[in-house]
Structure 1
Amino acid sequence: MTRPPRPPRFPRASVRVTTTLGAVAVVAVALLAGCAGLLGVIRHGLVGSAERTALARAEAVAAVTREGALVERLAIPDGEDSLLQVVTEEGRILAASENLAGRGPVASFEPAAGHASAARSLRLVLRPGPDEQPFRLASVRATGADGREVTVYAGTSLATAEYTQRLILTAMAPGIPLLLLLVAAVTWRSTGRALRPVEAIRAEVAEITARDLGRRVPVPASRDEVARLSLTMNDTLDRLEESMDRQRRFVADASHELRNPIAALRAHVEVAIAHPRLLHGQELLDDVVRVQQLADDLLLLARLDAGQQPERVVLDLGALARRTLDRRGEGRVPVRLERGGPALVLGNRGQLTRVLDNLLDNAQRHARRGISVAVTVSGEGRPGAAAVLEVCDDGSGVPEAERERVFTRFTRLDASRSRDAGGTGLGLAIARDIAVAHGGTLDAGAGPGGRFTLRLPVDSAV
C-alpha cells in the first residue's frame, strides 16, 4: 500500500510574498553596501587629510631640528587639536607641544628602513580632559645639529572624522527602514496588479469542468507574458475539448457497434436455451468472433492513443509483405505482389503486419477481380527517403470527398454499410494511427480503383 505524500514542513510562500521579500532584501543589501562604501570613502578622505597635515608639521619640526634651532616648547596653531613631540633614541623628550608637557613618548613606532616617514591612528589622553581622543600620528626621523638621531611625532585630531561618521549614520539610520517599507509597499502593490490576471486565469480554469469545456480564460489587452499564457491556456482547453468530444463520439460509436453483435449473441443464446435443436453454431461463432475482433481493435486504439511504444527493430517491408501474403493464402479475390522491395524501416513487426492486414481486408471487401501490392523506395540515397507500400484494388475506389473521412473511427461508406462487407469500421483508422506512430503517413489515393499508400521513413542506419 503506497503512503500518501507528506505535506511540506514549511508551506511555500506565494509569488507575491516571495517577490516582495526578495525586493526588500536586494534593496537592503544595496543600501547597506552603499552606506558602508560612503562611510569608508569619507573616513579615508578625512584620515588622509589629517595624515598629510601631521606629516607636513613633522617635517617642518624635523627641518628645524636639523638646523639646530629646536626649542623645548613647540607651538601649535590655536584652536586645533594637534600635538608635536621630539624623542631621542633613548626615549628622552627634547621638545613637545603644550598639551604633551611632562608626558613620556607619545608613540614608539618609527619609519621603516628605506622610508622617510610612517603614520598610525591612535587614541590618546591629553590635557586637560581625561577622555581619550583619536589622532592620526606621523613620525619622521631627523638628525640634529649635534649628530644625534631623533624621531619627530606630529598628530592631527580625528574627532572631526568620527563626528562626521556619526552624523551620517544618525541621518541615514531612520531613512533606511522607511525606504525599505516603501519598497515593500510598492513591490506588493505592483506584484498584486501583475498577478491579478493570473489569478483570474486560475479561478476560471478551476471553475471549468469536464461538462463545461466551452469556457475560456480571459485574455488581457497587454501583449506581455500573461497574455501569452492566456492564449496558451485557451489553446490547451481547445485541444482538451476536442479530445473530450472525440472520446464521447468514440464511446458512443463503440456502444453502437457493440450493441448489434451482443444482441445477436443474446438472441442465439435464448434460442439455444429454448430450442437446442434450432441452434446454428456457425452463426453464434461468427458473432463471438466479431465481438472479439471489435474488442481487440478498441484495445489497440486505446494503446495507440496512450502513446505506448512497442519494441522496434530494423525490418524489410518487402519481406514482411511476402510473408503476410503467404500466411493469408487465397482470399475472395487473388492478391499479387508486383514489387517486393527491399525497403528497410525501423518499426514493430506486429503493428506493421496489422497495417497490411487491414489494408488487404479493406481491399478484399471492395475488389472485383484482383488486388496488387507493391513495395518500393522513394528518393533512395537522398535525405528524406521513404519506403512506400501500395495496396490497390479494381473496385469502385474512394470518392475524393471521402478520402479523409474513411480514416475516421467507425466510418464506413454507404456502399459498404452491410455487416458482412463493412467490417468494424476501425481497420483504416488503426492503420493510419500505426503509420503516424511510426513517423509515416497513410493516404487514400486517386486511381481507377481503390489505392492506399503507406509511407515510412527509411532506417537512417542503412
Structure 2
Amino acid sequence: MADHDEERVHPRRRPPRAARRPHRALRRLLPRSVRARATFAATAVVALALSGTAVALLGVLQANLSRDVQQSAVRQADKVAALAEREHLPPVIAGPGGTIVRVVDSDGKLVSTTPDLAVSYGVVLPRPQAPEPPQPPGGPLSYRQTFEPDGRAYVGALVRDPEQRVVSVTVNGPDGELTIYSAAPTGTVDAAGRTAAAALAVALPLLVALVALVTWRVTGRALRPVEAIRSEVAEITGHDLHRRVPVPRTADEVSRLAVTVNATLDRLEDAGQRQRRFIADASHELRSPIAVLRTQLEVALAHPDPESWPELLADALQDTVRLQDLAADLLLLARLDAADPVATELLDLDVLFADVLDARPADRVPVRAELADGVRVLGNRTWLTRLLTNLVDNAQRYAEGRVEVRLAVEDGAAVLEVRDDGPGIPEPDRERVFERFTRLDDARSRELGGAGLGLAIARDLVEHHGGTLCAAGQPDGAELPCGARLVARLPLAGPLSRAS
C-alpha cells in the first residue's frame, strides 16, 4: 500500500540533471531559425538518400560487371566444350578478350591451352573433384561457386589469384573425358568499381552542397514576406489600427496569412471604433439625466416652495430610475461582451414566458399571447426573461392598441415572435435598430425613456444562446398588416431537437 501511495504522489520522476545535460547540449547544437532548420533537414535527407543510392548503385554495378565476366568465361567454356564433343582439340586454343582456357584429360594431363596465359595469371588447374568445404578467410583458396546455366553444371575452380573468375565443365568426345577450365580476368570489374566510387565521392558532396545552397536561398526568399509582415505588425499600436500588412502576390500560405492578419486588423479596428462610439454614446446618455436631475435640485434649493416639491421629487425619481436602468443595461452589455459563463438549465419556454407576461399587469397596451406547449431549450432563466421583457417593452413603446407574442416550433428551432401595430421598422433600418444607442425616432424615444439599448441587448442574449434575432416584415394575411415584427430563433433541447 505504501508503494502505491508513493507512486501516486510521484507519478513521474524526472531524470537526474546530469542525464539531461546531453539533451540540452544537443538542442543547443541544432539550428534555431526556420531557415536554418529547413536547410539542415533538406540537406540531411538528401545526403542520406544519395548515400544509400550510391551504395546501392555501386553494388548493382559490381554485381552486373561480375556477372558479365562470369558469363564470358561460361561462353568460352561452352565453345570449347562443343568443339571437344565434335573433334580432337588442337594443342593451342585462341582465347578471346584475354580469356584463359585449359583442357585436361581424366588423368590431369594437359590436352590444350591458350598461348602461355595461364602462367602469367597463376591459375591452378586441379583434377575435377567434389567441392571442398570453404577454408577460413586468408587461406590459399580465394573463390568457389556453383551455378547451373543452360542445364550444365559448372563448378568454380580453386584459384590463388583473386583477379580471376574460373569455371569448369566436363565433356566426352573423341579425346575421351575432358575437363575444360575457362578463366576471365576481373580487373575491369575492379577498375570500373574504383572509377565509379571516385566519381561518386566527388559528385555527392558537390550535389549536397548545391542542395543546401538552393534550399537556403529558396527558404530565405519564401520567408522574406513573413519578416515584412512581422515588422509591420510590430509597429502597429492601438492608435494606428488602420495600417495593414503587405500581401504578396504569390497566392500561397504566406499570402493567405497576410490576408488573415489584415482581416484580424479590420476586426480590431472595427471593435476599437465601436468601443469609442459606445463610450461616447454612454457618456452622452448618462450626462443628460444627470444634468436634468441637477437642474431640478438647484431649482428646489433656489426656490424652496413646499408646494412644488412633490412634482420636483417625482421628476427627480423618474430621472433616477432612468439612470438606474441605463447603468444596469451598461453592466449587462459589459458582461455579454466579456462572454462570462453563466448557469444554464433545461427550461420550458411556454411556462417561463407565461410567467413573465403575467407579471406585467400594468402594460399600456394589452398583450395577446399564443404559446405552444413543450418548447424546451437549454439556457439561462434570467437572460431569457430579459429577452422577452426587452422585446415586449419595445413593442409597448410604439404600439397603438395591440401587441402579440407567439411561441412555436419551426424547422427544429424555437421561434419567438413579438409583433405590434405601430409605425413599424422601415426595411433599410431593420439591421441598424440592433446597434447600440440607435433610435429611429430620437425625440420620441427620449420622451418614452428609451436609450436605444433594448434591441441590442436582446440580440446579444439570443446569440449567446446560439440563436438569431432579426426584424422582419409582416407575413401575408397577417392580422396586423403593419407594425414591427421581431423574430428570435433558439435551438431546441431534449426530445424535440433529437427528433428534428
Cα deviation digits, residues 215-241 of structure 1 (max 9, x gap): 222233444443333333322222221
SS of 1:346's equivalent? Answer: strand
Cα deviation digits, residues 390-439 of structure 1 (max 9, x gap): 22334343344433322111123335556562333211101112223322
1:293: which partner in 2?
Answer: 325
1:71 to 109, 115, 134: 109
1:330 to 339, 343, 362: 362
CA 1:266–1:43: 2 relative to 1, 3 Å: farther
Cα pair 1:119 1:137 within 8 Å, conserved: yes
2:265: which partner in 1?
Answer: 237
Cα pair 1:84 1:152 within 8 Å, conserved: no
2:45: which partner in 1?
Answer: 26
The alignment-based identity, stated in percent, is 47
Q: How far apart, CA to CA, are the structure 2 residues paired with 1:162 and 1:232?
A: 62
SS of 1:174's equivalent? Answer: helix
1:460: which partner in 2?
Answer: 497
CA 1:89–1:311: 2 relative to 1, 3 Å: same
Q: How far apart, CA to CA, are the structure 2 residues paired with 1:267 and 1:416?
A: 20
1:433: which partner in 2?
Answer: 460
Q: What are the residue-to-residue correspondences of 1:25-174 with 2, within 5 Å?
A: 25-55=44-74, 68=106, 70-72=108-110, 75-76=113-114, 81=121, 83-87=123-127, 106=141, 111=146, 116-119=153-156, 133-138=162-167, 155-174=183-202
Q: 1:160 deviation in Å? A: 2.3
1:4: which partner in 2?
Answer: none
1:350: which partner in 2?
Answer: 382
SS of 2:126's equivalent? Answer: strand
1:363: which partner in 2?
Answer: 395
Q: Which amino acid aligns with 1:36?
A: V
Q: How far apart, CA to CA, are the structure 1 residues paired with 2:269 and 2:123?
A: 91
Q: Which amino acid aligns with 2:244?
A: R
Q: Which amino acid aligns with 1:37?
A: A
Q: 1:168 deviation in Å? A: 1.6
Cα pair 2:141 2:160 within 8 Å, conserved: no
Q: Which amino acid aligns with 2:486?
A: F
2:210: which partner in 1?
Answer: 182
Cα pair 2:108 2:127 within 8 Å, conserved: no
How many residue pairs match? The answer is 428
Q: How far apart, CA to CA, are the structure 1 residues paired with 2:250 and 2:130?
A: 84
Cα deviation digits, residues 244-296 of structure 1 (max 9, x gap): 21122122222333344566788899999999x98988777666654443343
Cα pair 1:83 1:154 within 8 Å, conserved: no
Cα pair 1:404 1:444 within 8 Å, conserved: no
Which shifted more, 9-18 or 231-240?
A: 9-18
Cα pair 1:85 1:106 within 8 Å, conserved: no
Which shifted more, 413-422 or 166-175?
A: 413-422
Q: How far apart, CA to CA, are the structure 2 residues paired with 1:393 and 1:367?
A: 5
SS of 2:58's equivalent? Answer: helix
Q: How far apart, CA to CA, are the structure 2 residues paired with 1:23 and 1:416?
A: 71
Cα pair 1:318 1:340 within 8 Å, conserved: yes
Cα pair 1:82 1:157 within 8 Å, conserved: no
Cα pair 2:105 2:179 within 8 Å, conserved: no
Cα pair 2:467 2:488 within 8 Å, conserved: no
2:246: which partner in 1?
Answer: 218
Q: 1:355 deviation in Å? A: 0.9
CA 1:385–1:140: 2 relative to 1, 3 Å: same
TM-score (norm 2): 0.70
CA 1:159–1:265: 2 relative to 1, 3 Å: farther
Cα deviation digits, residues 114-136 of structure 1 (max 9, x gap): 9823449x9x655xxxxxx4443
SS of 1:85's equivalent? Answer: coil
Q: 1:29 deviation in Å? A: 3.0
Which shifted more, 153-162 or 186-195?
A: 153-162
Q: Which amino acid aligns with 1:397?
A: G
Q: Which amino acid aligns with 1:87?
A: R
**Is there any run of 5+ residues in structure 2 with no aligned partner, and where?**
1-23, 90-102, 133-138, 475-480
CA 1:271–1:142: 2 relative to 1, 3 Å: farther
Cα deviation digits, residues 181-219 of structure 1 (max 9, x gap): 222222222222233223222222222222111122223
Which shifted more, 253-262 or 104-113?
A: 104-113
Which shifted more, 19-28 or 304-313?
A: 304-313
Q: How far apart, CA to CA, are the structure 1 residues paired with 2:217 and 2:33?
A: 14
1:3: which partner in 2?
Answer: none
Q: 1:44 deviation in Å? A: 0.9
1:407: which partner in 2?
Answer: 434
2:478: which partner in 1?
Answer: none
1:341 equivalent in alignment to 2:369: no
Cα pair 1:87 1:105 within 8 Å, conserved: no
Q: How far apart, CA to CA, are the structure 1 residues paired with 2:358 and 2:287?
A: 35
Q: 1:108 deviation in Å? A: 8.9
Which shifted more, 262-271 or 162-171?
A: 262-271
Q: Which amino acid aligns with 1:18?
A: R
CA 1:118–1:229: 2 relative to 1, 3 Å: farther
**Is there any run of 5+ residues in structure 1 with no aligned partner, and where?**
1-7, 93-103, 127-132, 379-383
Cα-Cα RMSD: 4.5
SS of 1:83's equivalent? Answer: coil
